[in-house]
Amino acid sequence: MTAVLEVQGLVKRYGSTVAVGGIDLTVEAGEIFGLVGPNGAGKTTTLKMLATLLVPSSGDATIAGASIRRDPDAVRRVIGYMPDSFGVYDDMRVWEYLDFFARCYGLPAARRRQMIGDLLDLVDLSEKRDAMVQALSRGMQQRLCLAHALVHDPLVLLLDEPASGLDPRARVELRELLRELRALGKTIVISSHILPELEELCTAVAIIDRGKVLASGRVADIERRLRQGAVMRVRVVGDDGASETAAAFYRQQPEVASVERLPDGLLELGMRGDDETAAGLLARTIAAGHRVAAFGRAASDLEELFLQVTAPDPWPAVTDTVETMAHSAVEG
């Protein structure tokens, strides 16, 4: 794999405020790379610098071999950028919107016509070809904006919070669309403040907070690196007594740091160790005669990891579970 996007020590300051304080990233070709971080972490600023909208205070980045500082025009040719909040022109039809941006890239007329049809097919807006842009729904505008970023067939797509403000269905459609684009060979850099949203989609993520990369790599790798444990949810079939027995059983297990009883036969275990340990624990649970209906990671797991990593103070007590997790992480 070749690195399409390389960021070296990118810094952006506004007066004495540091928006981005030295970011290093490498994105391989064909990846869907997620930039995750809370609001104000510097994701948008980073993407804007990559999109040649802002001049970095220091540091540099190369996209497809072109430096964003020295050769911004070459960078502009290989990137498609979709901003966080974007406007649409009034008084413009959908096809005219795409036609205008195709003209901006200097595409010849014949190719423009064909490309507009293809792109509208891709983003599923063919029926809206002659509709006025401002009459489209938010999700459609989002897709149109994505289409605008594709008119020149870019190598790299920089998408800033593309899913914000979309309903669940539109989110799923967007995810499908991005997968399709990846299949077409695009490298996609996507930002979000919701880590789970990116988990399924991204091949790699970087967690950013206060202008720093806190962790980067595959989501699973980051998880493994940042903590030696997980929150498992176990559901035991039976009455209160059954779950009480199960809880007692888990308290005796060495890899279980904490046990919490939730209503409806649910148990939440703070656990040390990796998947291997979890498998062993499950085997022993069943061997001990507990009737397990469900055994798995807590759904909010990733979110908690995110909160934990990007917390304002080191190891805050966001929830009890996180506190438990923090202790287990420190101990581990």
Check residue 312 for interaction with other proteins (CB under 8 A): no
Q: Is the dihedral of CA 124, 122, 94, 160 positive or negative?
A: positive
CA geometry: angle at 149 spanning 213 and 206, to 5°?
15
Contacting range for other proteins; rule: CB under 8 A; set: 64-72, 161-169, 283-291, 322-330: 64-72
Q: Which of 61, 64, 159, 166 binds other proteins (CB under 8 A)?
A: 64
The whole-angstrom separation of Cα 217 and Cα 212 is 15
Q: Which of 141, 192, 216, 277 binds other proteins (CB under 8 A)?
A: 216
At 268, which helix (H) or strand (E)? strand 266-272
Q: Is the dihedral of CA 267, 271, 277, 278 positive or negative?
A: positive
At 322, which helix (H) or strand (E)? helix 320-331
Q: With CA atoms as reference, report the closest residue to 250 among 228, 231, 271.
A: 271
- How near is the Cβ of 84 to other proteins at its closest, in Å? 9
- How near is the Cβ of 16 to other proteins at its closest, in Å? 5
Q: What binding mask, one character per residue, do residues 17-36 give for other proteins by CB under 8 A, x or -?
A: -x--xxxx----x-------
Q: What angle in degrees, to the nearest 10, is found between the helix axes of 138-148 and 94-104? A: 30
- How near is the Cβ of 277 to other proteins at its closest, in Å? 22
The whole-angstrom separation of Cα 22 and Cα 306 is 21
Contacting range for other proteins; rule: CB under 8 A; set: 208-216, 242-250, 270-278, 288-296: 208-216
Q: Which of 36, 41, 66, 231 binds other proteins (CB under 8 A)?
A: 66
Name which of 17 and 252 has its Cβ closer to other proteins.
17
DSSP annotation of 314: S
Check residue 70 for interaction with other proteins (CB under 8 A): yes
Contacting range for other proteins; rule: CB under 8 A; set: 135-143, 180-188, 228-236, 293-301: 180-188
- How near is the Cβ of 59 to other proteins at its closest, in Å? 5
Check residue 307 for interaction with other proteins (CB under 8 A): no
- How near is the Cβ of 226 to other proteins at its closest, in Å? 7
Task: Say if CB 79 and CB 186 are below 8 A apart.
Answer: no
Subset of 73-102 contacting other proteins (CB under 8 A): 73-74, 76-79, 81, 83, 85-92, 96, 100-101
DSSP annotation of 106: T
- How near is the Cβ of 216 to other proteins at its closest, in Å? 6
Listing DSSP states for 180-213 in one string gives: HHHHTT-EEEEEES-HHHHHTT-SEEEEEETTEE
Subset of 101-160 contacting other proteins (CB under 8 A): 101, 103-107, 111, 114-115, 118, 121-122, 145, 148, 151-155
Counting Cβ atoms within 10 Å, is residue 293 exposed (0-12), middle (13-18) or buried (19+)? Answer: exposed
Subset of 220-259 contacting other proteins (CB under 8 A): 225-226
